[in-house]
Amino acid sequence: MAKLTMVQAINLALRQEMKNDETVVMLGEDVGRDGGVFRVTEGLWDEFGEARVIDTPLAESGILATAIGMAIGGLKPVAEMQFSGFSYIMLHQLEMHASRFRTRTQGWLTCPLVVRMPYGAGVRALEHHSESREHLYSAVTGCKIVLPSSPRNARALMVAAIRDPDPVVFMEPKRSYRSFREEVPDEEEVLPLCQARVVREGGDITVVGWGAMMPVVLEAVDGLREKRGVNAEVIDVLTVSPLDSDTIVESVKKTGRCVIVQEAPRSYSISSEIVARLNDEALLYLEAPVKRLTGYDIVTPYFGRENDFIHTPARVVKAIEETLDF
């Protein structure tokens, strides 16, 4: 198996799906000749031509509106929003149209499209280029919100997203785009959407994370195992909406303790929803309050303060130790 970055792994998924299915098309700003601002679509324009890899004007609402028309017309468009911080202009199209076609037409029409967008801090970009706003899209019913955490699961989830009959928002942690490599099988691999994964088994505490926070979480729990012999069970959410709360609840019933790590601001967030579901379904199993390690309720700071804003393994360790020692 080749060791790929997340950029290379997503590119592999796009290329393979375009080969497998001639109805799969790409569109977005600079996705064609330039291969995308982060080079995720590099080489696709040369291989599949301008009829299937389409450069568009800088108009996010127009990109998604076009993708919706393509999807209803029988294609499987993968639309790129160059940065998630500029994607809100297309939220109207997602909420008012893409997410509603199945119910609006009583199942007569679906809207099989993928919206790709890089998100999050950690690459010394400016404020609108560094936001983590998965909770905004998770509030839209009728579509799935997927956040891969590694090259291998990014490739397998992208394949599943393209084949899904309903709209999928695929948020790519650009901090992880090229920060590490992972073995990715040459043969096809698909991961189911809407299903969390237990990536470390343990009985002392449950640690939940997603996206760019997963490498931070794994470094923290591995270090803590060596330092204190703590066996943490680590859950990678992967799809934050619809949320696979069963996997999280069953883990917390076993461990009795839980820490949730998210990059996004604290209030009205995915972690808030997880805490509410644990209160509903696992309250009597808890031996300590559920702790949230979150971003601050502020605009993402400029890169001079970025390292103070982003979580480190040491912060995760501190949150775990406080919960264990409660």
Which residues have a catalytic role annotated? 129
In terms of C-beta density within 10 A (0-12 exposed, 13-18 middle, 19 or more buried), how is residue 19 classed? Answer: exposed
The two tokens of residue 29 are 């700003």
DSSP string computed for 212-247: THHHHHHHHHHHHHHHH---EEEEE--EEETT-HHH
Give the residue among 86, 170, 169 at the shortest CA–CA distance from 130.
Answer: 86
DSSP 300: P
Say how many Å lie between the first and final Cα of the chain, rounded: 44
Residue type, 181: R
Going through the chain in order, the beta strands assigned E by DSSP cover: 2-4, 24-28, 53-55, 76-80, 114-119, 144-146, 168-173, 182-184, 197-200, 205-209, 232-236, 239-241, 258-265, 291-295
Q: Which residues contact 256 (CB under 8 A, 6 or more apart)?
A: 205, 285, 286, 287, 288
